[in-house]
Amino acid sequence: MWNWKETRDEKSAARSADAAAQSYNTAGHETHHESRRTPMTQSAQPIAMIGQSIHFKGELTGNEDLMIDGVVEGKIDLKEHHLTIGKNGRIKADLRAKSITIQGEVTGQIIADEKVDIQVTGRLQGDIIAPRLSIADGAHFKGSVDMDRKAESAKAAVSHDDKQLHVRPPQRVAMPV
């Protein structure tokens, strides 16, 4: 009944998050000797990062992917972008993003347009509104999960309109006399 296959966008978002996490972890090991590197995605485009020693209180908004490995309290709103909470991240905030990957600790409400992914080291206490959820074995989650009913109904209405627009009128076939 439901299409469980990930869309390309979801896959690429997850891949870029993994790549960002991997490159960050690698960078983390090397920071003993060199300056901290900015995590890079596969397309070598740097993503914004809040490092381990940063403690931020307030409202955080942005128009690019973000990785948080520090402490954030308040509210985070990335709208159309991917948010990764790194292994050292400690978040007490309401989060909103296109997709969210959790490797650290989060307490708060989460709204994701596409997917929430709680990885094996992730701990989440709070409510989720998202169409898809992935929880690794060993991850901790306590809270409720719901879909954004308004968005879903709006999508359904749009797809219904599209279908109506693309309906071809029945063609007349000339019958041989």
User: Residue numbers of the site for another protein (CB under 8 A)?
Assistant: 2, 131-135, 141-147, 149
Identify the H or E element spanning 137.
none
Nearest distance, CB of residue 98 and another protein, angstroms: 18
Beta carbon nearer to another protein, 40 or 133: 133
Beta carbon nearer to another protein, 54 or 147: 147
Nearest distance, CB of residue 132 and another protein, angstroms: 6
Beta carbon nearer to another protein, 152 or 162: 152
Nearest distance, CB of residue 154 and another protein, angstroms: 15
Nearest distance, CB of residue 54 and another protein, angstroms: 31
81: number of Cβ within 10 Å: 17
Nearest distance, CB of residue 129 and another protein, angstroms: 10
Beta carbon nearer to another protein, 50 or 100: 100
Kindly tell me the sign of the dihedral angle through the C-alpha atoms of 31, 35, 36, 42.
Answer: negative
Token pair 């090397």 is at which residue?
30
Kindly tell me the sign of the dihedral angle through the C-alpha atoms of 113, 54, 40, 104.
Answer: negative
Phi, psi of 44 (to 5 degrees): 60, 25
Beta carbon nearer to another protein, 29 or 149: 149
Nearest distance, CB of residue 43 and another protein, angstroms: 29
Say which residues have a Cβ less than 8 Å from residue 177's Cβ, sequence separation at least 6: none
Q: Is 133 helix (H, G, I), strand (E, B) or coil?
A: strand
Q: Check if the beta carbon of residue 156 is closer than 8 Å to that of residue 122.
A: no
Beta carbon nearer to another protein, 56 or 141: 141
Alpha-carbon span 46 to 40, nearest angstrom: 4
Paired with 77 in beta bridges are 61, 96
